[in-house]
Amino acid sequence: MLDLSPSEFATLTFEEFGQLVTGYQKRFELTREREAHWVAALMNATGNFKKPITVDQLIGRRPGEEADAGKASLNERADAARRARIEERRRRAAANRRGSPS
């Protein structure tokens, strides 16, 4: 899910971990919505329904509720920045073990 090694996990703060989880949840929601678009298109193409099936119906969202894609992309960017910081910490730790300067 979060694809963290034990040493990366150990260096995370509670806030960073929470933000990683939130980013994962947002990506999951976007994937679910993307899949619902395809399912709705297939269901509507069959002609077996009196009314067109909407993505909102499949996801269980009330009509008029907007998906928060802006927040998701912001969380994804924050997630990428945190992962870069984790990678930098790992690189520095490896350099310190070898005895070379960062």
Find the domain containing 55 and state its range: 13-61+69-93
- Indicate the number of domains in the chain: 1
Contacts of 37 (CB under 8 A, 6+ apart): 55
- Asked whether residue 50 is domain-assigned, the answer is yes
Q: What is the mean pLDDT of residues 58-64?
A: 79
The pTM assigned to this predicted structure is 0.53
**Is 98 contained in some domain?**
no
Nearest partner of 69 among 32, 19, 17, judged by Cα: 32
Note whether residue 19 is domain-resident.
yes
Average pLDDT, the chain: 82
Q: Are 88 and 10 in contact (CB under 8 A)?
A: no
Convert the pLDDT of each residue in 13-34 to its tens digit: 888 888 888 888 999 999 999 9
Asked whether residue 31 is domain-assigned, the answer is yes
Asked if pLDDT for residue 35 goes beyond 90, the answer is yes
Give the residue with greater pLDDT, 75 vs 19: 19
Within a domain: 17: yes
Alpha-carbon span 71 to 58, nearest angstrom: 22
Q: Which amino acid is at 13?
A: T
Q: Quick one: pLDDT at residue 34?
A: 93
CB within 8 A of 59, min separation 6: which ones?
32, 33, 36
Task: Output the CA angle 80-59-53, nearest 5 degrees.
Answer: 130
C-alpha span between 100 and 26 (Å, rounded): 39
